Homo-oligomer: A and B are copies of this chain.
């Protein structure tokens, strides 16, 4: 079981590498196997076909990164350390091939396909994580009354994806850098916003 799952993981890690270095069109059993250092036939022992490899890769890379995000952001309740942590996590996302692999999979996901369903399911997980973090951040802040947390979380995930897509297309890495610098400035101002005083309403004592 463990051996089987570690062989599976080896394939998925090689698939991430193949997607990020050769693109979706260049990711074949052969190119995955070459990067992973195993025979192409091994892939078909663990997966029915390449489509299954792609949907499994979408889940695998997303879950790995989400685990890492959850661990890194567990105690974070303020905006400044949040942005600092997100910046580090984003650098890891890039370094690990996660971002390029996801970009390739998103581009390849035909609406209605199993790959699109896998990407949608993973997106949902990221939206839920963003919700948790935003809820912690907004607790007691006056802005919290104006913001619908699930909607804002979905917007945050959409922004991340779009920012990566544009960076993927034009190769301009200054976009995420400038965005994190801007976010850091806003975060500092946000953390200085006074929290609402929580008084029981009726007993205003007038």
A residues within 8 Å of B by Cβ?
23, 106-112, 116, 119-120, 123, 146-148, 150-152, 154-155, 157-163, 165-166, 168-172, 175, 178-179, 181-182, 185-186, 189
A148 lies within 8 A of B182 (CB): yes
Expressed in whole angstroms, the Cα–Cα distance for A171 and B107 within the complex equals 15
Question: How many angstroms from the CA of A146 to the CA of B170 in the assembled complex?
Answer: 27
B166 contacts A159, C-beta separation under 8 Å:
no
- A154 pairs with B175, CB closer than 8 A: yes
Q: Which residues of chain B have C-beta atoms less than 8 A from A106's C-beta?
A: 107, 165, 169
Which residue of the partner chain, among B23, B161, B178, contacts A166 with CB atoms under 8 Å?
B161
Beyond A106-B107, A109-B169, list 5 extra A-B contacts (CB 8 Å).
A123-B169, A152-B182, A154-B178, A158-B163, A162-B165
Question: What is the CB-to-nearest-CB distance from A41 to chain B, in angstroms, rounded to a whole number?
Answer: 29
Copies in the complex: 2
Tell which of B155, B165, B171, B186 touches A146, judged by Cβ atoms closer than 8 Å: B186
Which 10 pairs from chain A and chain B are nearest by CB? A162-B162, A120-B170, A158-B162, A161-B162, A107-B107, A158-B163, A159-B159, A151-B182, A151-B178, A116-B169
